[in-house]
């Protein structure tokens, strides 16, 4: 095996799905500036996710369309005609 191939800065990190507030703790070497307090009372780095296995339509079986960019434009175009 090659030496120094894998990162050496693995640590416990909290990943949080922002669409349904599901969070899980796992080891990672991802860089982050935010921290959060986990259920055990310790503080861990926080990575915010837009989608995870608890909110992805493939795993949940539910089709959920999240349209955040066009809502204001739709509202303005609808009520700007008057």
Residue boundaries of the structural domains of the chain: 11-79
Contact (CB, 8 A) for 11 and 46: no
Average pLDDT over residues 1-12: 85
Q: How confident is the model at residue 12 (pLDDT cuts 50, 70, 90)?
A: very high
Tokens of residue 57, six digits: 């339509």
Percent of the chain with pLDDT over 70: 78
pLDDT at 3 over 80: yes
Q: Is 82 helix (H, G, I), strand (E, B) or coil?
A: coil
**At 79, is the secondary structure helix, strand, or coil?**
helix
Give the model's pLDDT for residue 40. 94
pLDDT at site 67: 58
Mean pLDDT calculated for residue range 42-68: 74
pTM attached to this predicted model: 0.65
């Amino acid at each position: 095996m090659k030496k120094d191939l894998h990162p050496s800065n693995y640590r416990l990190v909290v990943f949080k799905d922002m669409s349904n507030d599901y969070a899980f703790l796992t080891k990672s070497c991802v860089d982050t500036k935010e921290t959060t307090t986990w259920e055990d009372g310790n503080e861990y780095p926080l990575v915010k996710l837009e989608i995870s296995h608890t909110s992805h339509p493939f795993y949940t079986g539910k089709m959920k369309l999240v349209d955040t960019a066009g809502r204001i434009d739709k509202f303005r175009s609808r009520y700007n005609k008057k």
